[in-house]
């Protein structure tokens, strides 16, 4: 039997690798440029490519594979490992970028939030928001313990809705998904904020984020960004790294010299330019 060549291995994966590279590039460019239009372009790409085309999101099943040391063979699943390395590296560098840019379900709920009337939204009280955020950590602990005891991979169906992109599921699963999406109409990003075990794991990793969001001294008293944050990730002067998905909303506000008190104070304190002296009257000879 002839030896397998890398050309034969990479050939069937070339399109997937090219699309993944394009998508990661778009996600990173939209992140660094803080462009709203590019951000929504990456969200649409995430739903279409990561969701319905590829049907591969980071899942508790991947956590189970790590626990069992039962992961896909590298050379036949290169894009799987490229995505995994990107998610881990980007989380260490910037935080939950995956949740805010790459995850197809998170992208879907953000697109829902963008097109649905704002009057339908219910603002979750801050104390309830902070306490409910712990639910996803409980779910993460539960599914890990459950898998260690039972080795039942199918538990993912009850804690993740990602199967929807493969367009399969029982009637009960679709009813549950419908209820979740209906609730998301009123409570923005409900699953990502309160229920996602993968988001909980990435939140834990985010505690070692290298490049954090800058804060001005005025953030101690200003509440503009805290009120604007859709993820409940700002508490006074503090960015809650475990909840922040690097959505850019507060960072755009920081740069807005007409809205951010930091710039307003600086501009007011800046000495005004001296008025030019009036021209001397001409003298007729």
Same domain flag for 56 and 189 = yes
CB hemisphere CA count around 69 (13 angstroms): 0
CB hemisphere CA count around 72 (13 angstroms): 12
Q: pLDDT tens-digit profile of 90-137? A: 999 999 999 999 999 999 999 999 999 989 988 888 889 889 999 999
- Choose the weakest-confidence range: 30-44, 102-116, 236-250, 267-281: 267-281
Task: Kindly tell me if the per-residue pLDDT of 88 is higher than 50.
Answer: yes
Same domain flag for 137 and 94 = yes
Residues 6+ apart with CB under 8 A from 95: 206, 209, 212, 241, 244, 245, 246
Of 239, 116, 268, which is closest to residue 249 (Cα–Cα)?
A: 239
Instruction: Look at residue 279 in the predicted model and tell me its pLDDT.
Output: 45
For residue 243, give its domain range: 212-268
Q: pLDDT tens-digit profile of 143-195? A: 999 999 999 999 999 999 999 999 988 999 999 999 999 999 999 999 999 99
Asked if residue 279 is part of any domain, the answer here is no
Same domain flag for 112 and 102 = yes
Same domain flag for 239 and 176 = no
What confidence category does residue 235 fall into, taking pLDDT thresholds of 50, 70 and 90? Answer: confident
How many folded domains does the chain comprise? Answer: 2
Alpha-carbon distance of 47 to 40, in angstroms, equals: 11
Instruction: Look at residue 281 in the predicted model and tell me its pLDDT.
Output: 37
Same domain flag for 152 and 18 = yes
Q: How far is CA 200 from CA 187, 236, 277, in A?
A: 19, 22, 64
Alpha-carbon distance of 160 to 40, in angstroms, equals: 23
Whether 245 contacts 127, CB under 8 Å: no
């Amino acid at each position: 039997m002839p030896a397998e060549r890398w050309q034969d291995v990479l050939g069937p994966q070339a399109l997937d690798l090219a699309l993944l590279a394009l998508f990661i590039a778009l996600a990173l460019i939209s992140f660094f440029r803080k462009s709203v239009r590019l951000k929504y372009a990456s969200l649409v790409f995430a739903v279409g490519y990561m969701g319905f085309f590829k049907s591969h999101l980071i899942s508790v099943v991947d956590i189970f594979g790590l626990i069992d040391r039962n992961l896909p063979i590298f050379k036949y699943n290169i894009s799987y490992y490229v995505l995994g390395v990107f998610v881990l590296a980007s989380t260490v560098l910037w935080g939950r970028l995956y949740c805010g840019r790459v995850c197809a379900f998170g992208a879907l709920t953000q697109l829902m939030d963008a097109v649905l009337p704002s009057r339908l939204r219910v603002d979750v009280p801050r104390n309830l928001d902070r306490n409910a955020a712990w639910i996803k950590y409980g779910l993460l602990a539960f599914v890990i313990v459950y898998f260690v005891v039972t080795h039942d991979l199918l538990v993912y169906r009850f804690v993740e809705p990602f199967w929807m992109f493969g367009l399969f599921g029982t009637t009960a699963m679709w009813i549950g998904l419908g209820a979740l999406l209906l609730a998301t109409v009123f409570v923005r990003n409900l699953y990502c904020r309160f229920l996602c075990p993968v988001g909980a794991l990435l939140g834990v990793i985010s505690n070692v984020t290298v490049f954090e969001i800058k804060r001005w001294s005025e953030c101690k008293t200003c509440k503009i960004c805290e009120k604007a944050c859709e993820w409940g990730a700002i508490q006074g002067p503090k960015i809650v790294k475990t909840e922040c998905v690097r959505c850019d909303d507060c960072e755009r506000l920081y740069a807005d010299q007409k809205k951010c008190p930091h710039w307003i104070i600086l501009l007011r304190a800046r000495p005004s330019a001296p008025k030019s002296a009036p021209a001397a009257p001409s003298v007729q000879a």
